[in-house]
Amino acid sequence: GAPEFAAALANLGTSVAYAANAAEIALSNEMMGYWARFAATGDPNGAGAAPWLPYDVASENVLQLDDNIVTLAGGYRNAQCDFLSTLPTRF
């Protein structure tokens, strides 16, 4: 929760004071939920979270993780991602 998140930030050893806002704390909690469910079951979905759909080449849906977690239908910067797939994998 919020106290644990704030304590973790305070223990980073930096001299920069930082206080997470409510949206950042909520996003952090959502991400921890996705990772914990994935680690426990192999599926990040559940507990009322926005569904994280498996990758499908036909729909190219992606999950936007931000203040509002939503599925972006049709991919994200498809032209740029397609270009990256043309680059050599070995040097």
CA distance 69 to 63: 7
pTM > 0.85: no
Per-residue confidence (pLDDT) for residue 37, from 0 to 100: 96
Q: What is the mean pLDDT of each run of 10 residues along the chain (91 residues)?
A: 66 72 92 96 94 86 90 83 85 64
pLDDT attached to residue 61: 86
Residue type present at position 50: A
**Per-residue pLDDT at 38:** 96
Q: What is the pLDDT of residue 13?
A: 67
The pLDDT, as a whole number, for residue 59 is 84
47: CB partners within 8 A, 6+ apart? 33, 37
Q: Which residue has the tokens 């680690």?
A: 39
3-state secondary structure 23-57: HHHHHHHHHHHHHHHHHHHCCCCCCCCCCCCCCCC
